[in-house]
Amino acid sequence: MELSAKEKFALIAIAVLIVLALVLRIFQSVQNSKKNGELVVIKPVATSTLATETPIVENVIASTTDLGIIIDQPRPNESFTSPFAVVGKARGAWFFESSFPLKIIDEQVKVLGTGIAIAQTSALTDDFVPFVGFIEFLPDEKPVSSTKAFLVFTNDNPSGLPENEVSTTIPIIIN
């Protein structure tokens, strides 16, 4: 069945409105964080409950950017439903072809969902580059409500060499 020109226009208009609403919500969240003087900067924690070597971020306000990533949204231990937005800044080295992977894991390190962070400006720099990503649960992996999980940020490492990989994790709650 072929859609008429009016139906195609209506579908495109609805899609544009949805994207604009999502961008507005992200912008409002970032502005609210800035108004409150809040900034989450990744800071490795020495001990972890995960069976990985990925450092876990605590709810820390810090001035260090040792790992080269600043996360504006989500805040550590914030509750989410799928899909949700991820907003922040990362040094250009985190990106390959203007993106890097995101994933949600549970306490047993089982992958519950995936997404991609996309650079909002050129990532061909050593400076911080703003990014936006959306992440959602895999179809058969939606956890039980109020489940503790972890959002994992990993640099895109096309070389595959372990010495070039950088990763960090923040705790979240799934609704």
111-151: pLDDT as tens digits: 988 999 999 999 999 899 999 999 988 767 666 656 788 99
pLDDT of residue 24: 58
Q: Do 110 and 27 belong together in one domain?
A: no
Indicate the helix (H) or strand (E) that contains 76.
Answer: none
Q: Between residues 112 and 17, which one has the greater pLDDT?
A: 112
Strand order in the sheet with 167-174: 40-41, 69-73, 84-91, 128-137, 111-119, 99-106, 147-154, 167-174, 79-80
Q: How would residue 101 be classed by pLDDT, with cut points 50, 70 and 90?
A: very high
Which phi and psi angles does 39 have, rounded to 5°?
-155, 125
Q: What stretches of 38-139 adopt beta strand conformation (E)? A: 40-41, 69-73, 79-80, 84-91, 99-106, 111-119, 128-137
Contact 163, 153 (CB under 8 A): no
Which phi and psi angles does 9 have, rounded to 5°?
-60, -45
Q: Do 22 and 69 belong together in one domain?
A: no
Q: Do 98 and 151 belong together in one domain?
A: yes
Q: Do 27 and 101 belong together in one domain?
A: no
**Region class of 109: left (phi > 0), else alpha (psi between -120 and 50), else beta:** left
Q: Do 5 and 48 belong together in one domain?
A: no
Q: Do 160 and 115 belong together in one domain?
A: yes
- Into how many domains does the chain fold? 2
Domain range holding 151?
Answer: 40-174
Contact 173, 149 (CB under 8 A): yes
Pairing of β 167-174 and β 147-154: antiparallel
Q: pLDDT tens digits for 29-57?
A: 545 444 444 444 443 333 333 434 444 44
Q: Omega before 83 cis (within 30°)?
A: yes
Q: Do 47 and 34 belong together in one domain?
A: no
Mean pLDDT of 89-93: 91
Q: Which whole-number Å values give the CA distances from 139 to 83, 84, 103, 121, 136, in the listed order? A: 12, 15, 14, 31, 9
